[in-house]
Every structure is written in structure tokens, then in C-alpha cells.
Amino acid sequence: MKILVVGAGVLGLTTAFNLVEDGHDVTIVDKTGPYAKASSRSFAWINANHKLPAEYHLLNRAGIAAHDEFQKRFADHGTWFHQHGCVMFDSTPDKSSGLDERFTESAELEYPVERIDSDRLRELEPAVSWPTDSGLLFPLEAHLDNEAFGSLVEGFLEEADVVPEVAEVVRVETNVDGTSVEFADGSTRIFDQVIIAAGADSGMIADRSGLLLPVADLSQPGPRTHSLLGVTAPTDVNLNRIIISDKINVRPRSDGSMFVQIPSVEARTEEGENPELLDEVQTVMEAELESLFGQHIPVDKVIFSGRSFPEDGLSIVGYLDEHHRAYSLVTHSGMTMAALLGRLVADEVRGDASQLLDVFRPSRFAEGVTPESPTNFIGRQ
Ligand SMILES: Cc1cc2nc3c(=O)[nH]c(=O)nc-3n(C[C@H](O)[C@H](O)[C@H](O)COP(=O)(O)OP(=O)(O)OC[C@H]3O[C@@H](n4cnc5c(N)ncnc54)[C@H](O)[C@@H]3O)c2cc1C
């Protein structure tokens, strides 16, 4: 089949890769270029932690397994999936950040979790000055070198002569025979199917096409749709795994730097991106890093980053039109599920519908949209 993938973020790339493997004639376009948006600014914690309902937890969990398989399959290309687990701690005096609830919830879902004491905390991460004597370890969880993963998949596509074109899709029109796609340069091209994996802009493309795909509008920033992501300078601090807490979320990067998020400043995304905010957040990040590692670690930049956020908080995966010509692939857990969803979309294009996706179909919005408004999204990405 002749298939267009719209968007060369992590989801568009993995989808194109699987479609090429299945022998389709694939074109992939991006209005800016590969990895221009959320995929390049992602904390990339690979997890199924507190991702509810149970169907969403299972989908994310399958996402972790798919990354593991992908890493093993292409092990001779390097290591980008670091499955060293995630340590979670609560520094509040009254232990109010909900770790006990997370433990119970995870145990009920049979999601591996261990209570760990101060000796184990020190053994796992000797470089950390732990502000607590207990925590949780989620051994299945991982961090992904998001740039390395994207480059790898893009490289595989290039080997198959599929190179992302810089082109902007305006709208699509489907009929029983195929899809006519209108581009911003005024051209129109015909495909058998179109996969809309344009992140936060997917809703806009669907809207212009008369299709229903409710994705949050990024023009009204806030903690649901935006996050403040810090990137430190490379450091000699030896951090092995992701740490998530009420004070700071931090994880290592392959060049020795770290990604940082601070739960208490996320609400300030409502102020919109401005230099004063970024400077203030940088100062808070450096203070929290110093408190965690006992040394000054410079934060090189703070990125005001937009998420692709389906209005009800759950992934939107499936056909948008009655002719099964336009397919949507939008989720805010895209890093966790990229290796999985790319494969499932290709299976569905072949006609093998996945039960894992049953509750994530776009058709659920036919009855109306119930927006999710988490007060603090961080720690659930
Ligand atoms: C700060 C932050 C932290 C995050 N942390 C995590 C995490 O810890 N774990 C996790 O699983 N996920 C996390 N995410 C979410 C994850 O990064 C995203 O779900 C994922 O990157 C989405 O990938 P995507 O390919 O759908 O979108 P994107 O990466 O946004 O790619 C979409 C592409 O479509 C292109 N495009 C848009 N409109 C058009 C058009 N009209 N025509 C052609 N091209 C178009 C854009 O240029 C863009 O390159 C985080 C996100 C952010 C921002």
C-alpha cells in the first residue's frame, strides 16, 4: 500500500519503520524536520507507573516490553534503553506525596515494586545525599536516550530509502478508494492510507479535515500540556537511573549531563514562556540538584516544552473515518510506547486489530469529550 505518515517524531518514525518492514511504499513528512517537537525534549522515563485505568497501564507495560525487545534485536547498534529501574522517594515530613498509594496500586496491578531502605538507596545511587531513609524501586522501569533512539530508527528508514521530507500537511480527504492530502505548498497527493502522528498538531489537521481528534490546544499553557525541562552541563556525578520525588525528578543522559524536572514549579507554565521564568526555574533546579548531590551542578538550559495531550488524557489510536483511510496516533506517553505502537499500527494497517487498543479508539469521542485536568501531571508522564 502507498502510505503517508504525517510527523517524524518518535511515533511517526517507529510507525514508518514498521510499515517499511511490512513492505509498504512509505512516505514520511514533517513540517519542520525529524524530532522537531516533543520527542526531542522528552524526559523519556519508560514506565507504566500510576497510569490508569488498568487498560492504559497494560498498554504502557507492553510498551516497556517492546523497547526491551527492540533493544535486544538491534543490540549491535548500541544501547539506548537503560532498564535500571526507577527510585521514587517522598521527602515531605508527613509522607503526603502518595508513595504508599503507589505501592498498593502497583502491587494490585502486579507491577513490580519493592520497598527499599537507606542501605539499598545508598547501594543503588551512592552519589545521592538521600533526604529520606526509605523509597520505592520500580525495577521494570527505564530511561531512553530519546535522541539516539530516534536517530537509529531514522537511520533504518534511510537504509530503505525512506527519508523524511520537509512538508506541511494542511488537510486530508478520504473516500472509499484512498486519501487525497493537501499540502501547505498547494500541492495535492494521493495515498491509500494516511497515519496522522503530528503530535500536538494532529487535532488541527483532523479539524481541518472534518474529523474528530481532540488534542489539547498548546496556546493556553499549563501543567497539563507543558513542562519545564532542565538540561545540566555534563558532570562527573555518577547517576545510574531515574529518580522521581516530590522535590526533583532527575535522570542521566548519555553525554554525562542530566535531565531535571521540579514538580513545585510546573504550575508556573501557566505564565507562558518568558526569560524571567526560565531564569528563576534554572536557579531552583540548581538548588535542588545541589541538595540531592551535595555539589553545584550547572543547569545549561531550561526548555519550555509542549506535550501532545489527548483531551481525556488517554491515547487516541485508530481510524478516524468510515473508509479506514485516515488513522490517528496521538499519546502523551509516546516515549514509553513508541516501539510498541509503531508495530501495532502496522499490524492494524494489515488488518490485524489489536485488543490492547480497544479502549483507545477515536470513536469514544462520538459521545462527547470529557477533558482530564490533573493538578500535577509530573510523575505520571
Ligand atoms: C517535557 C516532556 C517530558 C516528557 N516525558 C515523558 C516521559 O517521561 N515518558 C514518556 O513516555 N513520554 C514523555 N513525554 C511525552 C513524549 O515525549 C511524547 O508523547 C512523544 O514525544 C510524542 O511523539 P510524537 O511523535 O507523537 O510527537 P512529536 O515529537 O511532537 O512529533 C510530531 C511531529 O509532527 C510534526 N508536524 C506537526 N504538524 C505537522 C503537519 N501539519 N505536517 C507535517 N508535520 C507536522 C512536528 O513538526 C513534529 O516533528 C514527555 C514530553 C515532554 C514535552
| Domains and their CATH numbers in the chain | 2-60+146-216+310-367 (3.50.50.60), 86-139+219-306 (3.30.9.10)
Quick one: pLDDT at residue 374? Answer: 60
pLDDT at 377 over 60: no
Give the Å distance between the CA of 199 and the centre of ligand 1.
5
Quick one: pLDDT at residue 78? Answer: 97
Strands 193-196 and 226-232, how do they pair?
Answer: unpaired
Q: Tell which residue, 203, 208, 206, has the closest CA to residue 218.
A: 203
What is the arithmetic mean of pLDDT over 219-224? 91
Between CA 62 and CA 56 the distance in angstroms is 10
- Please tell me the residue having the least CA distance from ligand 1 atom 33: 7
Quick one: pLDDT at residue 375? Answer: 56
Say yes or no: CB of residue 6 within 6 Å of ligand 1. Answer: yes
Q: Which of 86, 308, 328 to mutate to test the pocket of ligand 1 (most atoms within 8 A of CB)?
A: 308
Say yes or no: CB of residue 39 within 6 Å of ligand 1. Answer: yes
Quick one: pLDDT at residue 94? Answer: 85
Ligand 1 nearest atom to the CA of residue 335, by list position: 11
pLDDT at 328 over 90: yes
Q: Which of 5, 30, 341 to mutate to test the pocket of ligand 1 (most atoms within 8 A of CB)?
A: 30
Task: Transcribe 106-159 into DSSP letters.
Answer: HHHTT---EEEEHHHHHHH-TT---SSSEEEEETT-EEE-HHHHHHHHHHHHHH
Q: Which of 11, 13, 37 to mutate to test the pocket of ligand 1 (most atoms within 8 A of CB)?
A: 37
What is the arithmetic mean of pLDDT over 340-344? 98
Quick one: pLDDT at residue 329? Answer: 98
Give the Å distance between the CA of 215 and the centre of ligand 1.
12
What is the arithmetic mean of pLDDT over 105-134? 97
Q: Mean pLDDT in the chain?
A: 95
Give the Å distance between the CA of 46 and the centre of ligand 1.
15
Ligand 1 nearest atom to the CA of residue 229, by list position: 1
Hunting for cell 496491578 — which residue is that?
109
Ligand 1 nearest atom to the CA of residue 307, by list position: 53
What is the arithmetic mean of pLDDT over 235-249? 97
pLDDT at 376 over 60: no
What is the arithmetic mean of pLDDT over 140-164? 98
Q: For 181-219, what is each residue's pLDDT tens digit?
A: 999 999 999 999 999 999 999 999 999 999 999 999 899
pLDDT at 155 over 90: yes
Between CA 241 and CA 263 the distance in angstroms is 18
Q: Tell which residue, 149, 143, 174, has the closest CA to residue 14.
A: 149
Quick one: pLDDT at residue 373? Answer: 64
What is the arithmetic mean of pLDDT over 284-312? 96
Quick one: pLDDT at residue 372? Answer: 73
Say yes or no: CB of residue 44 within 6 Å of ligand 1. Answer: yes
Least confident of 28-37, 93-102, 336-345, 371-380: 371-380
Quick one: pLDDT at residue 74? Answer: 98
Quick one: pLDDT at residue 370? Answer: 78
- Percent of the chain at pLDDT exceeding 70: 98
What is the arithmetic mean of pLDDT over 225-242? 96
Say yes or no: CB of residue 105 within 6 Å of ligand 1. Answer: no
Give the Å distance between the CA of 191 and the centre of ligand 1.
24
Q: Give the model's confidence band at 333: pLDDT under 50 very low, under 70 low, under 90 confident, else very high.
A: very high
Give the Å distance between the CA of 379 and the centre of ligand 1.
18
Quick one: pLDDT at residue 46? Answer: 98
Say yes or no: CB of residue 205 within 6 Å of ligand 1. Answer: yes
Q: Give the model's confidence band at 93: pLDDT under 50 very low, under 70 low, under 90 confident, else very high.
A: confident
Say yes or no: CB of residue 224 within 6 Å of ligand 1. Answer: no
Burial of residue 324 (number of CB atoms within 10 Å: 0-12, 13-18, 19+): middle
Quick one: pLDDT at residue 380? Answer: 62
Least confident of 95-99, 173-177, 209-213, 313-317: 95-99
